Amino acid sequence: MHIGYITPEYPHPEVSHAAGIATSIKNLANSLVKQGVRVTVFVYHQSKDAVIEAEGVTIHLIKKRSYKFLTWYRYRKLLNTYVNSIVAKEQIDLIEAPDWTGITAFMRFKVPLVIRFHGSDAYFCKLDGRKQKFKNFVFEKLALQKAKAYITPTTYAGDETAKIFGLNRNKIKTIHYGLQLEQFINSKPDAFKPKTLLYIGTIIRKKGVLELAEVFNKLIEKELDAQLILIGGDSNDIQTGSTSTFQLMQNIFSDQAKLKVNYLGKLPYSEVQTHIKNAHVCTFPSFAETLGMVTIESMALQKPVVNTSIGWAQELIDDDVNGYLVHPTDIDGYVTAILKLFNDQELCLQISKLARLKTECTFDINTLSMLNVEYYKTLIE
């Protein structure tokens, strides 16, 4: 079997950007290669054209191009022609693409196309309460209509996407993102920096960071030794027009809280694990995700997580068993859960142990990649 992935990002030094989509695709690709499946990745909107090999995966970098008119259409056709040429040359059996902005709208392939719900613009706009650009909705719907089937990382994301675009729910298969768990080992779960709260992710309104600022203001009043570490790139804010969401957080932080906030910006993926291991508690009060890779990565590293309670998160964490689920607007609920963990080390270690067990049972990429292969087979046949 030979599977091709179209994506705007992939974790490799030659690729210009890598985030959650990139991590989930690489985890799957590497596991498929170990099972004897050939994998080719097409990364579009890059700074150059190139073909590279990494860990058994063939990566095609496709340079971003601009045209005098209809760039959105002509670049898609260029990408389509290139992918089809490699499909024929390398005998690729199936193409998978993301739903974001409908990159495969106006494309035709000679092999089955499956779209994975990493999170469409329409999906995030709905959860975020924002109006979507009509063009983006049209592109995403056209792309989805041309797919033979769909894969969703959580049933919640699949149901919501089906409602938005009027999709046949029977064509949607739930297969979680997975982790290479052998790369997420914490040999000393009881060694951490006490009272340290960690957030990882883009500094953007939809991730609940403004609510997190309010949470920390109340937390520092009750626990003077608390510290907040923020990791992730800053972003502009659509609602206010601000060029920095972190600055909006700064406007919310009390004078006392500002002294205990450490914003590290965007860090190499290799360094993030160290910060997770050093944290006492991880928190992700997001309003909009399809699954949330950093949540399950933190759980795999035996960290207690205070997470959002919205839809998808209920498929990751069993509340009050292997983590806590609190709605992002429930500021007092977050403070209570975090303080509970700060003040009870035995509870912390118990939840940490059960969090790891949850990832082993539910998010092991070796098991999940086999599910992907079986589903791919049904589509190819």
**CA distances in angstroms from 11 to 25, 268, 340, 343, listed in the order given:** 9, 10, 36, 38
**Which residue type is seen at 139?**
F
Sign, Cα dihedral of 248, 288, 368, 53: negative
Sign, Cα dihedral of 230, 360, 188, 352: positive
Residues in the chain: 381
Contact 94, 109 (CB under 8 A): no
Q: Which fold would CATH assign to domain 2-178+364-380? A: Rossmann fold (3.40.50)
Q: Which of 130-134, 171-175, 272-276, 371-375 has the lowest mean pLDDT?
A: 130-134
pLDDT confidence of 19, banded at 50, 70, 90? confident
374 pLDDT more than 90: yes
Q: Which of 59-63, 200-204, 267-271 has the lowest mean pLDDT?
A: 267-271
pLDDT confidence of 21, banded at 50, 70, 90? confident
Matching fold, domains 2-178+364-380 and 182-362: yes
Q: pLDDT, tens digit, for every residue of 111-153? A: 999 999 999 999 999 998 888 889 999 999 999 999 999 999 9
**What is the pLDDT of the chain when averaged over all its residues?**
94
- Tokens found for residue 201: 């992710």
Domains of the chain, by residue range, sit at 2-178+364-380, 182-362
When pLDDT is averaged across residues 298-322 and rounded to a whole number, the result is: 96
Report which of 280, 127, 283 is spatially closest to residue 214, judged by C-alpha positions: 283
Q: pLDDT, tens digit, for every residue of 64-118? A: 999 999 999 999 999 999 999 999 999 999 999 999 989 999 999 999 999 999 9
pLDDT of residue 269: 79
When pLDDT is averaged across residues 250-256 and rounded to a whole number, the result is: 96
pLDDT confidence of 23, banded at 50, 70, 90? confident
CATH class of the region 182-362: alpha beta
Instruction: Give residues with Cβ within 8 angstroms of 69, minimum separation 6.
Output: none
Q: pLDDT, tens digit, for every residue of 193-217? A: 999 999 999 999 999 999 999 999 9
Q: What pTM was estimated for this model as a whole?
A: 0.91
% of residues, the chain, pLDDT over 70: 100
Contact 301, 186 (CB under 8 A): yes
Q: Which of 23-27, 107-111, 320-324 has the lowest mean pLDDT?
A: 23-27
365 pLDDT more than 80: yes
Q: What is the 3-state secondary structure (H, E, C) of 214-231?
A: HHHHHHHHHCCCCEEEEE
pLDDT of residue 22: 85
Report which of 115, 123, 119, 110 is spatially closest to residue 147, judged by C-alpha positions: 115
20 pLDDT more than 80: no
pLDDT confidence of 348, banded at 50, 70, 90? very high
